[in-house]
Structures are given as C-alpha cells and as structure tokens.
Chain A
Amino acid sequence: MTTESDARDELIDLAADFYDQFAAGKIPEMTLPTRTKSNIEYDEASGVWTYGDRTSTRSANSVRGARKLLKAAYTIEFLANQLDDDRSSTLRELYYLSESWDNDEAQFKSQDESNDLVEDLEIVTGVTREDFHMRPEESGAKVMGPLEIREQTNRGDREIHCQLDVGQGGYQIPNNPDTIEFLDNDAEFVLCVETGGMRDRLVENGFDEAHDALVVHLGGQPARATRRLTKRFRDELDLPVVVFTDGDPWSYRIYGSVAYGSIKSAHLSKYLATPEARFIGIQPEDIVEYDLPSDPLSDSDINALESELEDPRFQTDYWEEQIELQLDIGKKSEQQSLASRGLDFVTDTYLPERLGEMGVL
C-alpha cells in the first residue's frame, strides 16, 4: 500500500501533469477507465471484477469538463494540505468545505459530485481515499468474535479483544482497517451477516462463542472498510468466509460485492473483494426445505433474478440451480423468517446444518 507521503506526491504529480499540459499549449485532461457496467471485466487471475480497457477523458475542452478539472485542482490542494497536517475529513465535510473556497466555480453542487471526484482521484493516482485521509460518513459495521487486534488511533494504539473487550454491539470497524494489526485469534471462520437484527440474534444466542465464529455485520451493501477487513481475515488469518443474507435477488448482489467487487469501486476490487467467500443462505432451496414464511416475487425481483442469470458472476451450476428454483417457486424469504421455527432455530439448527454441508464445521 501507499504511504501518506506517497499519496501526497501522487496528488502533486497529477497537478503537475495539468501544469505541463497548459505549458505545452495543450488542453488539460485526465483519463480514467470508463466506469460503467459494460466496462467491468472478470479478472481470471484474481477472481474479481475490475475495470476493462475502455477509458473516458475528462477534458477542459467543454465548460463541464473545465469545471471538473478546476474542482480537481482545488481538491488536490485541499487533500495535499490535509496530508501535510495529518488531519482527516469525511466526504461530506469535503462537500461543505468547498463552500469556503474563494472560487464559486470550484464549489461542489452536490455531495455526489465530490464523492465522484474523490473516486476519480483514487483511480488516477492509484491511491485509496483512505490514504488521502478521506472517510465516509459512517461505517456502521461491527465485528464480534474471538480475535485480538491492535488499532492505531490518532490517540495512540489500542489493543482490543473483539469478544472480551467489547460490549454487546461488538468492535467498530475503523474507516481505514489497514490501521489494524491482528494479534491473536481462535476463530474458525468468518460469518458475514446482512441485517442488524440477525447479527444481534446470533450474538444474543452466543453463536460466536459456541462456534468460534467472527460475526461481521454487513449492514446492507457493505462499506469499503467492512469488505477490506473481511478480505484481510481471509488473506491474513486464512479463515473461510461465508455470507448470510436474505433470500432475494438484491441480497445475492450483496454477496456478489463481497465476493467479486462492485462497479463503483472496481479499481479497488483486488484490494476489497474476497473471491473465496461463499454463500450460506437463505437459499431458495431453504425456503422449500424449511417451509419458511415467504413473500411472492415482485416484477422487479423477477427482472433482477433474470439479469443475474445473465451475470457472469452468477454463472455457476449452484447459482443457476438456485435462481431457477426461486423463479419456479416465485417466493422470497428474509433471514429472520427462520424465527418462525423458534428463536434458537437459526443458531441450533439452520446454521450448523448449512455450515456442516459446506464443510466449514
């Protein structure tokens, strides 16, 4: 990974590129991979999804392009100063902070605009935003399980055991999980859980203790930090990773982004995605087998399932079978529908059975 001074140099280099283009009588521009679904390619070697060869150019040739580059120049200055001062800020703070810039044209019109620009800068400089000291508003994700870590905070290093030193809520994952050092662990596997309700159920039932599981809360589409930490569990601790979500097409995509990467952060897939992660459920098969309470599939669910059938990420025998089954039964079920068989069913029966089938337990 880059160091902070590297990050700063990369930013200044980009500004210098603009400078040189001006000096040569050329129109300043920067070239990025095209960030659309059609330019996402499967990288055989790493098993994740990354940007393809198509590029787009942000050029000052148009009013829009010129405004973007002006904002980029201002943002570069801001980030460089932030790194110099060893401060950090949130994406939202950047958006508000632009209001203080002396140039109206350089101010951001919306937070999407500043978020996109930071991503552009990540891609062009090859530096992650964490190294720019930019963090998202909230991570929300937590870990609970038999793991001891050391986190570098700006108030000094803290050693924390993620089961013994934390409350019911678990250990809060920091924005830059690369500040964490793994000290010791008794974990057997990592269980990523989509909903907060299910995470709380597992913790209350003591599932992490009973099975030496690292329970990671995803909270919908997982934040980068959550995905990065999950990948480090896999790569550095050599733990198997399983993903536990609702049984509907949108949740399968959550699994997809953990395992293969997402379109917006495809430039970081090699750094964030865990191709070894496996899906535990709720499987369409489970809806039938456990006779779970269910809702009928809506039209958009059906479309989503059909487009997943076309999606190369899901073109395995396993997924084709499950998706076709789901289209066939026309039903979807939530994780918490398992409660229909009792509050302990998920921890005593469902997960042990599934983990056994998958050879994790």
Chain B
Amino acid sequence: MTSFQSTIGDEEGIAEELAEGQREISIAEFFEKNKHMLGFDSGARGLVTAVKEAVDNALDATEEAGYLPDIYIEIEEVGDYYRLVIEDNGPGITKEQLPKVFGKLLYGSRFHAREQSRGQQGIGISAAVLYSQLTSGQPAKITSRPKGQSRAQYFELIIDTDTNEPEIQADEETTWDRPHGTRIELEMEANMRARQQLHDYVKHTAVVNPHARLELREPGLDEPLKFERATDELPAETEEIRPHPHGVELGTLIKMLEATESYSVSGFLQEEFTRVGKKTADSVIDNFRDVYYGRELAWSPPREHDDRDVASAVADAVANKGAEATSAFADGVAEAVGNHDRVTRSQLAAIVDNAAETVEDDTGKTFGGTVRENAVDAAWRAVTGLGRADEAADSGEGGEGADEVEESPLVPDAYALVDEATSTRKDDEAVQAMAEALARRFENLDGDAFRITRDDLERLVADAASFVAEQRDATFGETARGNVVEAFWSRAVTVPDDPPKVKAIAGDRDAAADLLDAMRTTDILAPPTDCLAPITAELVEAGLRKEYDADFYAAATRDAEVHGGDPFIVEAGIAYGGEIPADGSVELLRFANRVPLVYQRGACATTDVIKNIGWRNYGLDQPGGSGMPNGPAVISIHVASTNVPFTSESKDALANVPEIEDEIELAVREAARELKSFLNKRRSMQQRREKQDVLGRILPEMADKVSEVTGRSRPDISGALARIMNNVSVEREVTDGSVTLVVENHSDVNEELDITDIVSTEPTDLSDGTVVDMDGEWFVQWKPEVPSGDERELTYAVDGDPEFEVSVGGVETEKLTVND
C-alpha cells in the first residue's frame, strides 16, 4: 500500500490491514494512532465527526426502511464533558444486531455491498462510540424501538479494547415516545470551537437531503435550529450490485473466493460479479490459463525433405496392433499434423486421440491410453526433435559424427519467427544466433510441452538476447525483443487444462493474483448504474431553494460514468443573488453520497475543479481569471458512487480522480450556463429599463421641440416609443360602445399574452376570448399570440359608459406598455 489515496477504494484492503493491526495492538492503541485519519484528532473536531457519523447512519437507516427521516441532534454540556444525543425515526435495531452495529469497530452491514450509501467503511459510528468511551469512560447508551413494539429497549454498551468485542452492560425495557427509531447517547471530551462547522454540516445535510427533517440543539443556540422538509419524496431505492471485476482488489477477491459456494471459477465469476456471463467468464478463464499455466509454444511439423517423419515415428511406437491398423493410425496422425502450420503438444494429443478413435471405429482394434501416449511422445519427438541426442547416442556407434548432435529442428522455426519479427537490417548471422539461443532455452523448459507464461517468455527472450549480444556482438533492442516475444506468443496456444477449482485458488495467493490479473485484462461491460441514487436536478434545486434565499437557482445531474469499476454520478447546483452575501468568494457546498464534506476544502477535487473554471465567462467575478470566484453565489456539488474516492478515511475531501473531476466540471458548467443566461438577461433587462427611462424622457422633449420649431401641435409619439423599446403595447380605443384593445408586438420574438379586461357592464360580441361574470364585474379574457412585428385587435361591444381595467400577463413588465 503506497498511499491512502490509492487504496481508499479498497475497503477490504483497509479492513484487512486494520484487522491485522488489531491482532498485534489493542484497539484503543490502534484508535489512538489512527484518530486523525478517522476525524477524531481534536475535541472540537471529534464532536463534529461523531455527529456526522451518527446522522449519516440515522439517514441511511430511515431511508432503507422507507421512512422520511426525522432526526434530532442535541449537544449538552455535562460537567467536563459534552453529551451528544442523536435520535432517528428509523426501524430500530434488534438486540442481536445492536452490539455489532454500535460496538465492534469495522462492522458494517454495507461493508460488502456495492451500493451507494453514506457510511462506506463501517468505521464511523463505532469509532464515535470508542472515542466517547476512551475520553469519558462512559458507555454508549442506546435506546431502540422497532416498529410495532410497545416498549423500547435500553442498552449500555462498551467495547472491550483488548478483544475489540462489544459488551452489553445494561439491557432493560424502557418507554420512549417515538413509535419507532433509535437513540444513541454518547458522552465525550469535546468543545464547541467547531460550532460553525457543525452548523454548516447540519445545514448542508438539509440542503442535500430535502426529504429529511433535522433539528439541532446545542448550548450556544437560544432556539433550536430546525430544517424542514422540502419534499415528501424519498430518494430512489438503490439496487445493490455485485462488484465489478475491474473494481476489486486482491484481498477482496481472496475473501470472495473463500466465501463463495461456487465450485468452479466460471461459476464463481458469474455468480459473484456483475456484468459476467458465460462468455465473459470464458474469456476471463482463457486469460487466467495464459497467466497461470502459460501457453504452449507451437512448432511446424516436419516437411517432406526432413528426415524426421511423423508417420514412421508413430508406427514405430505402436506395437501389436496389426500392420493395417498401425499404418492407418500413423497415417491419420501424420495427415492431421501435416494440416497444421504449427502444432502444440496439447493439439498433438488431441490429434492422436482423434486418429485413435477413428481407427478403433474402422478396425475394432483398441488403442489404449499407453499406446496413445507413446504415439504422442513419438510424434512430438518427430516434430520437435526432442530426444534426438539420445537417439544419436543409441544408434550412432561407429557412425560418422555420432557425437555431433544434429541441429534442433526448433532452430529453423525460431529463425523464421525472429527474422519476421526483427528489422531487415539484422544480419543473418545474428538472427541465426538468436534462433539457436532461443531454441536451446526452449528445450530446457520444464516438461516437453514448451509451456511458458508471457512474463517468462519475455525473460527468456531477454536472456537469449543478452547472450547473443555477448557472444556475437549483435544487439536486440527492447523493440526487437518485444516483437520476438509477440511473434512467439501470438503463435502459442492457450492450454486446454481445466483451471484449478475455486478452493485451490483461494488457498494460493499467486493463483488468486493471476485470476485478478486475468479479470482486469478482460474487456467487460461497465457496471450498471441503478445502484446509484442521485438527488436529481429538481431536488438539488429544491434543497438550495429551501436554505438559501436567492434570486436564481439552477441544477444539473449528469449521466452515470464509471471509475475503477465503480459507477458514479455528479450533480451540481448554483444559487445566486438575493440574501446570499455578495462580498468574498462564493460558498462551495461539497457532498459525497449525500453527506456534506466539512473539512479540508482546499484538498478536495471539487475545489480544484471550481478554481480551474473561467468564471468570468459565466458572469461571476474571478480575480486573475482563476481561483475561487467571488460574488453572491452558492455552488453545490454532489458525487454519488458505490465507492467515493476520498483522500483519507475521515472522508473530508474527494481524491483527484480524473474521470470524476471531468464530470464535476461538466455538471458545474451545465448549471453555470444557466446562471450566465440569467445574468445576461438580468443585465439586458436592466439596460432596457435604463433605456426606457432615458428615452421616455428624451423623446417627448424632442417631440415638443420639433413641434415648437415647426409650429405644429405636439405629435403622438406612443407608437414610436413602443417601437423603440421593442415593446409590446396594449392600447384601448373606445368608440360608441365598441371597445378595441390593440396589441402591437414590436419585440423581435413572438409573444403569447394573457389579457384580462375587467368591465363594469356586461360585454357582448366578443372577438375570440371568454367572459366570466364575477359579482357584477365581467372578466374578459384573451390569450392572443402575436408574432414579432405584428398586431392583433381584440374587440367587444358594451353599453353605456363602463369602467375598464386591463391587466396583461405573459410579457415581462419591462417590455410592456399599456395605454388604458
């Protein structure tokens, strides 16, 4: 483990490591050593962390049970200590579960689950229990009332720090006014110096959990802080998914191998992992065979001019089967071998079996196992020249060159491959030397099947190359060696051997590592995303709306993406203006799986992303064009994942994972684009208002002046005004009991208006429109659509001299001129 950052996702890895630690040191000592990682490094922080862990648990528990969370948090001063009380309306906890949930460090129901949940590591609440116990000496006091039970159960619980086992000290019935839920009471050494963080945490929790009701009481507050619900909708239930093969670590894999009920690797893969079916399992197993067993190198069968001869070798190896059957068998093998460009020992064995069965069927002779084995050995010797030295020794007495072993037939084969793999500039001698060096090393491999893993092949080629370099002064560089390895490896064939059984792999760390390797190298579909529950853009906005009184809100939810086998979704929201303080930099709210991140803002990937966005482009002030933008804005970012990568166990800051950073940026930009168009529109409305003010003053003055100069009466300028202001004008004309409302659209877009004219006598002869009698007043309504540059006349008839009052909707007031 090189750094925490890279192993945060490794839940099992941490578990293992922590568990190992526990065997050697007491849990108290372990906690003492690691409390900074767990968020308990000071009294101030410890209190916030304890609240955070307890609230996270409470939210998860209530949601899982389908209740809208109603959570009560109370902090009291008790002598030298602080007492923390957290109540929820969850399903309660049974007596059996209770010590495990609250007691034993590292226990957690979601410890193995690939599901989005707040608590990820199962460390949180038990660490708070331990912290309280270590600092105050008091047990955790837990009250639980499962739904439907008339009475609640009260427990006092401590953790035996030698064994890391929880002990229940008190267990009695009690009464509790909540119909169901859990209450935990912890006393601890603490202080309220982190009051602001505590308030932020609760407030932000309310923002990101608009379905939850929260209440906080603490000594510094005169009135409890209450956060009401903005929605009655629970977050979508998440599907638990099995782990993705690309997302597991070796420790996890071994545990899974130990725990599985599957017998075969294929079954194990299909049963325990998501996105693995028969086909994918087969690919994984083939890759596993290659790393575990290695491939078998393939060699070309003898050609006609060679004195090696498969048929005669096989015939010689067969005894007592009669000439006809023997030769049919031998010819069958030789012919099948001859049909291969290259053949491996396993392929040869299959060929022999095949030929044997054919001949058995034809002749009725039996070719048993021994015969077949002998035939395979003989044919293999003919193909590869193995054992030719022995033969030479046997038959060569007196013969010329008896002590000179014939060149291995592997050499020309190797020569062909080396020659093909290396550049033409290599001279023949060097290639020949390399081929010889390789052939020699291949012959020295264990067994006679030339099995070798890719790693070993690379080492072997490198060794041969350095030998050739030394002997012949011919260099085979890295690329050349790589090409040679590839040339042999691509012709080598995956072995037909069955993979070891699951139990065997579980007991063999190397085999398990090979399996993991195979899983990672196999292409596998990305994991499904229904295990995630985004807040959704509407509710992100609702959450902001609830806690920030702003002029503008926007939110965006991205589609799910995957990092390291874990799916994730990023959401962003922006609130702008209104009561949000305009001075200083914007407020950044960070959330992971609906949990607010309070500390280490500077170390967080979200902060980095925000700083790197050019905010001026979106209408926010950003000194120097980078860094945190300034202005009356709140930006909220939520990352939901089955495995949120944090920079440390205390879960304060998101790690800089490029895939996640990209999505954060896209989500924020999406919301920021809306902000930009809002700000632009606001600016243009402001300019329009200013223009209207100025023109509304100037033009009548100009009209006066020109009428003065020309000596004519003042012209009617309302038409010109409406036109200049790109306005929509509504003008009433009344002549002899007929009323006309003229709607002119001088804007550059089509306008859909909503016009209501309130008349004091009953109107008749309406053009379109509807009329409603409201207690002696008549509401005449039209919804005309007026294209840009066009006009509509809305008319009706009316008796006498009634009063009118027109109201116009559907158009911004800035754009509207009504001449009633």
List chain A positions with a Cβ less than 8 A from chain B: 12, 15-16, 18-19, 21-28, 60-63, 66-67, 69-70, 73-74, 76-77, 80, 103, 105-106
Contacts and interface: CB of A to CB of B under 8 A. Distances in A.
Interface string B715-751: 1111110011000000000000000000000000000
9 contacts: A15-B709, A22-B703, A23-B715, A23-B716, A28-B720, A61-B724, A63-B695, A80-B709, A105-B694
Interchain residue pairs A-B with the least CB separation, the first 4: A25-B719, A73-B705, A22-B715, A15-B709
Nearest to A25: B719
Contacts of B707: 19
Interface of B: 690-691, 694-695, 697-699, 701-703, 705-710, 712, 715-720, 723-724
B723 A19 contact: no
A60 B712 CA distance: 21
Given A19-B703, A66-B698, 14 more contacts: A15-B709, A16-B706, A18-B706, A19-B707, A19-B710, A25-B719, A60-B698, A62-B691, A63-B691, A67-B698, A69-B702, A74-B705, A76-B709, A105-B697
Contact of B699 (A15, A25, A66, A106): A66
B695 A12 contact: no
A12 B709 CA distance: 7
Nearest to B726: A61
B819 to A, nearest CB: 13
A18 B702 contact: yes
B710 A15 contact: yes
A80 B691 CA distance: 30
Nearest to A67: B698
**Residue among B712, B720, B723 with most chain A CB within 10 A:** B720
Contacts of B699: 60, 66
Nearest to A76: B709
Contact of A25 (B694, B695, B705, B720): B720
Instruction: Report whether over half of chain B's contact residues are helix, strand or loop; otherwise say mixed.
Output: helix
A60 B705 contact: no
B691 A15 contact: no
A61 to B, nearest CB: 5
Contacts of A18: 702, 706
A21 B699 CA distance: 12
A310 to B, nearest CB: 40
Given A61-B724, A105-B701, A19 B691 contact: no
Contacts of A21: 720
B701 A15 contact: no
A69 B718 CA distance: 17
B706 A26 contact: no
Contacts of B697: 105
A28 B709 contact: no
A28 B691 CA distance: 16
Contacts of B698: 60, 63, 66-67, 70, 105
B694 A63 contact: yes
A16 B703 CA distance: 10
A275 to B, nearest CB: 39
A65 to B, nearest CB: 9
A73 B724 contact: no
Contacts of B718: 25
A28 B710 contact: no
Nearest to A59: B724
A162 to B, nearest CB: 42
A103 B712 CA distance: 20
A66 B715 contact: no
Contacts of B703: 19, 22
Contacts of A63: 690-691, 694-695, 698
A25 to B, nearest CB: 3
Contacts of B724: 27, 60-61, 66
A27 B702 contact: no
A69 B717 CA distance: 15
Contacts of A16: 706, 710, 712
A12 B710 contact: yes
A22 B701 contact: no
Contacts of A61: 724
A26 B705 CA distance: 17
Contact of A15 (B690, B694, B706, B716): B706
Contacts of A19: 703, 706-707, 710, 712, 715
Contacts of B695: 60, 63, 66
Contacts of B715: 19, 22-23
Contacts of A62: 691
Contacts of B702: 18, 28, 60, 66, 69-70, 73
Nearest to B692: A63
A207 B709 CA distance: 53
A74 B709 CA distance: 9
Contacts of B694: 63, 66-67, 105
B492 to A, nearest CB: 75
Contact of A22 (B691, B706, B708, B709): B706
Nearest to B704: A73
A157 B708 CA distance: 36
A77 B720 contact: no
A73 B715 CA distance: 14
**Residue among B706, B707, B716 with most chain A CB within 10 A:** B706
A202 to B, nearest CB: 49
Nearest to B744: A25
**Residue among B702, B708, B709, B724 with most chain A CB within 10 A:** B702
Nearest to A64: B694
**Residue among B695, B697, B698, B705 with most chain A CB within 10 A:** B705
B713 to A, nearest CB: 10
Contacts of A69: 702
A15 B704 CA distance: 11
A19 to B, nearest CB: 5
**Residue among A22, A26, A62 with most chain B CB within 10 A:** A22
Contact of B720 (A27, A67, A74): A27
Given A60-B702, A63-B694, A63-B695, A73 B709 contact: yes
Contacts of A23: 715-716
B544 to A, nearest CB: 37
Nearest to A66: B698
Contacts of A12: 709-710
Contacts of A106: 701, 705
A103 B701 CA distance: 8
A103 B718 CA distance: 21
A185 B701 CA distance: 54
B1 to A, nearest CB: 68
A70 B705 contact: yes
Nearest to A16: B710
A40 B216 CA distance: 78
Nearest to A20: B715
A76 B711 CA distance: 13
Nearest to A62: B691
A155 B584 CA distance: 72
Contacts of B705: 15, 70, 73-74, 77, 106
A26 B703 CA distance: 12
A66 to B, nearest CB: 5
A19 B713 CA distance: 10
A77 B704 CA distance: 12
A12 to B, nearest CB: 6
Nearest to A19: B706
Contacts of A77: 705, 708-709
A77 B708 CA distance: 8
Contacts of A70: 698, 701-702, 705
Nearest to A74: B705
A69 B702 CA distance: 8
B694 to A, nearest CB: 5
Nearest to A77: B709
**Residue among A18, A24, A74 with most chain B CB within 10 A:** A18
A63 B697 CA distance: 10
A272 B678 CA distance: 55
Contacts of B710: 12, 15-16, 19
Nearest to A72: B702
